[in-house]
Chain A
Amino acid sequence: MKPSRIETRFAELKEIGRPALVTFIMAGDPDMETSLEILKSLPEAGADVIEVGMPFSDPMADGPAIQLAGQRALAGGQTLAKTLKIVSQFRKTDKKTPVILMGYYNPIYIYGVEKFLKKAKSSGVDGLIIVDLPPEEDEELCIPALEVGINFIRLTTPTTDDKRLETVLNNTSGFVYYVSITGITGSASSKPKEVAAAVSRIKAKTDLPVAVGFGVKTPAQATAIGKGADGVVVGSVIVNVVKDSLTKKGTATRKTIPAVKKLVKELAAGVAKAGK
């Protein structure tokens, strides 16, 4: 099989010798058009891989920043169908940057797994991160996704011991997402040394790249964490920059897209410093 966009991107960066900057934005935050423009601006600003959040009413693993981003998107009328549309629009101009949809299972279950995967594939989605689908529920979405050629990226956490790690890695593809803290998104930062040790532990069991997320907030942290990983995921601070650029009513302003671009450029510079 032809390597996926995710595999190709990580292989290219390995060649260059620096980790990937993985950026998270929420689809439809604050409205569909603006989030599409934000998405389009990310690769140029330095994002190597993009996670697009599918808003959900009950994001149990997310901290306030991403909860609020999801609420803004839902208030703006975002749906799963519209999120897929954003990705297909993005694919018209960008054929290379991997796009991963991240969220919770219920909206996909209600949309219909088969229909969703078909549509996601044709829209140019490369991978899925579904927070509430552990390996125990692989039959629901993970296996069907792999069958249509969409990567299923699994989260491993500090509570994933060696024995469980094998279970977790079993059907994982694309890359492994190491959640560097026990906690919700946007919480306290993790210690680079501990993270690097955890990443080595995972890499001993898999050839897949390992990206680290949850709690990376500044370019300096991106550098520090990036030194011990194949990718650095940044989410909460980006959606916060979106939030801070909005009007009191929550609508986008002229500042919204430039603010995101500026932050992502800084983070990309941070990640670049982690290179050889």
Chain B
Amino acid sequence: MNKQTLNSYKNGPDERGHFGIFGGRYVAETLMPLILELEEAYKTAKKDKSFQDELDYLHKHYSGRPSPLYFAERLTQHLGGAKIYFKRDELNHTGSHKINNCLGQILLARRMGKKRIIAETGAGQHGVASATVAARFGFPCKVYMGATDVERQSPNVFRMKLLGADIESVTAGAGTLKDAMNEALRDWVTNVHDTYYLIGTAAGPHPYPELVRDFQSIIGNETRYQMMEAEGRLPDMLVAAVGGGSNAIGLFHPFLDDKDIQMVGVEAGGHGLKGDQHCASLTAGRPGVLHGNRTYLLQDDDGQILEGHSISAGLDYPGIGPEHSWLKDTGRVEYVPILDTEALEAFQLLCRLEGIIPALEPSHALAEVVKRAPKMKKEQIIVMNLCGRGDKDVFTVGKALGFDLQR
């Protein structure tokens, strides 16, 4: 076995998809041949220059990469500590980092000769990105979305419909991301012969956590050279929100072996960690097996998975990508919760100080930056991944602030 050596945090996963004890391939037998097929296809694609060239072209001309690394001058002044930079992945086509992964996977699906795309979505950002690439490459696309999320993310539902996707509202459970993922897996197990499952986060059975991470690592790779251009040195701290964890792993992974760089993943603390009204799986959960991988999960003493809560539909997931679980246990990355109320304040702060309406997901990361930056020295540098824009969230925020936008 290819053991992860202590001198690098970047060797995972091993050939069976494990990051330490996390990861793996816990799926029904029906899906096993498909996962093995995907693993092979991805291995070949990685070595194929034309695959990377086409992806690069799409990133540049379709999505608008590289996304800017922006010095948030007024926020920095306001907080009075470390210099704050935003990696502006909210400026990508479709409004979030999700497109990075979708472009990579749609090229894989086409290589594999698949005829139909399915996806799960929470906030709808991955659903929109999936619907977008499906439209661009001429695939029919079905998006599974929890009924609760359909309600609170209606702008994204309409966007997906405009893009030609078929939306399946999932009423099982609490009607959030976990339930959507169950239903997508049921679709996949039924339509194995022609369907590609475009998973939106760095979770699920191997090889998904690896390939999603690789496709999202463009965030960190760009940040590295952009930071060198802007400051002539690397940052002191990286901060990103974690739901499933794809934007965070994309930013963190290229820097994992830069030992002086501190990394903070920000989980949804919901209404607080007492009780079950949160989604802080790393802080308050424990290892278990769900959706094809072993990872930290919110669960009860009988191993039943809890629903959790977050104001942000994109963080409302009781699990987390397996590599984050490993990074937590090794101590390389610190994970902290941020409350709904703190995220809402950060959201408004950014609107007023920088003229940027962030999504609620990176608003969680921002709230952590607000706590940390003032305690740091002025010459220190924080890079935060501004992974999505907030247009989709104005209804939710309006409601939380007592400003009724509905109808």
Contact = CB atoms under 8 A, between A and B. Distances in A.
Interface of A: 56-61, 63, 67, 74, 79-81, 104-111, 131-137, 154-161, 164, 168, 179, 182-184, 187
A134 B289 CA distance: 13
18 contacts: A57-B173, A58-B305, A60-B182, A80-B303, A81-B302, A106-B290, A109-B288, A134-B27, A135-B32, A136-B25, A136-B32, A137-B24, A157-B30, A168-B29, A182-B30, A182-B191, A183-B190, A184-B190
Contact of B189 (A133, A156, A184): A184
A182 B304 contact: no
Contact of B33 (A106, A137, A161): A161
Contacts of B173: 57-58
Contacts of A56: 303-304
Given A108-B303, A110-B301, A155 B29 contact: yes
Contacts, number: 113
Looking at chain A's contact residues, is the secondary structure mostly helix, strand, loop, or mixed?
loop
Contacts of A67: 172
Given A132-B292, A133-B26, A110 B186 contact: no
- A-B pairs, top 4 by smallest CB distance, nearest first, are A110-B303, A107-B303, A183-B190, A57-B304
B27 A132 contact: yes
Interface string B175-191: 00010001001100111
Contact of A61 (B16, B33, B189, B302): B189
Contacts of A104: 289
A14 B297 CA distance: 45
Interface of B: 16, 24-34, 172-173, 178, 182, 185-186, 189-193, 288-292, 297, 299, 301-305
Contacts of A136: 16, 24-25, 32
Contacts of B30: 61, 155, 157-159, 179, 182-183
B302 A79 contact: yes
A235 B33 CA distance: 25
A187 B288 CA distance: 29
Nearest to A105: B289
A154 to B, nearest CB: 7
Contacts of A60: 28, 182, 185-186, 189, 291
B183 to A, nearest CB: 9
Given A60-B186, A105-B289, A133-B26, 12 more contacts: A61-B30, A106-B297, A106-B305, A109-B289, A132-B26, A132-B28, A134-B28, A155-B29, A155-B30, A159-B30, A168-B29, A183-B186
B32 A106 contact: no
Contacts of B186: 60-61, 63, 183-184
A58 B290 contact: yes
Contact of B288 (A106, A137, A158): A106
Nearest to A79: B302
B173 to A, nearest CB: 7
Contacts of B305: 57-58, 106
A187 B189 CA distance: 11
B190 A160 contact: no
A106 B299 contact: yes
B189 A182 contact: yes
A187 B190 contact: yes
A187 B33 CA distance: 21
A81 B304 CA distance: 13
A64 B178 CA distance: 16
A110 B288 contact: yes
A80 B33 CA distance: 30
Nearest to B26: A132
